Structure formats: structure tokens, C-alpha cells
Amino acid sequence: MFALHELRRSFSMNWLYLTIGIVLGVAGIGMLLFAMTSSPILKKNRLERRRQAAENHRPEEYH
């Protein structure tokens, strides 16, 4: 009976560690994606593209 109790306990601990690992992994991926999207280089490129689009925009073509 003692062995069965220990088996259940270790099984539940494994699920706990697996759940914590998955949560931390998802949080890490989210932080990585956030860091990539808020990169200064990407912001600079985005601003340059917007500036070029504004320069190329000709309002007289859109009546």
C-alpha cells in the first residue's frame, strides 16, 4: 500500500513539473516574440516603409 501511495505521489509531481515546464516554455516564447516585434531595427525599418509609402501616395489619383 505504501508503494502505491508513493507511485501516485510521484505521478502527480511529474504532472506538476510538466505543467510548470509547459507554462514557462509558453511564457518564454511569448517574451521572445515580444522582444522580436519591439526590436529597434524593426521599428526603424517600419518607419522607413511608412515614410516611403507616404511619399509615394498621390491623393489626386483617388477621387
Q: What is the pLDDT of residues 8-36, one digit of tens each?
A: 777 788 899 999 999 999 999 999 999 88
Residue-level pLDDT at 58: 63
Share of residues in the chain with pLDDT > 70 (%):
81
pLDDT grade for 61, boundaries at 50, 70 and 90: low
Is the pLDDT at 49 greater than 70? The verdict is yes
Distance CA 9, CA 3 (A): 10
C-alpha cell at 15: 504532472
- Distances in Å between the Cα of 3 and the Cα atoms of 8, 9, 12, 28 are 9, 10, 14, 37
Q: What is the mean pLDDT of residues 52-57?
A: 80
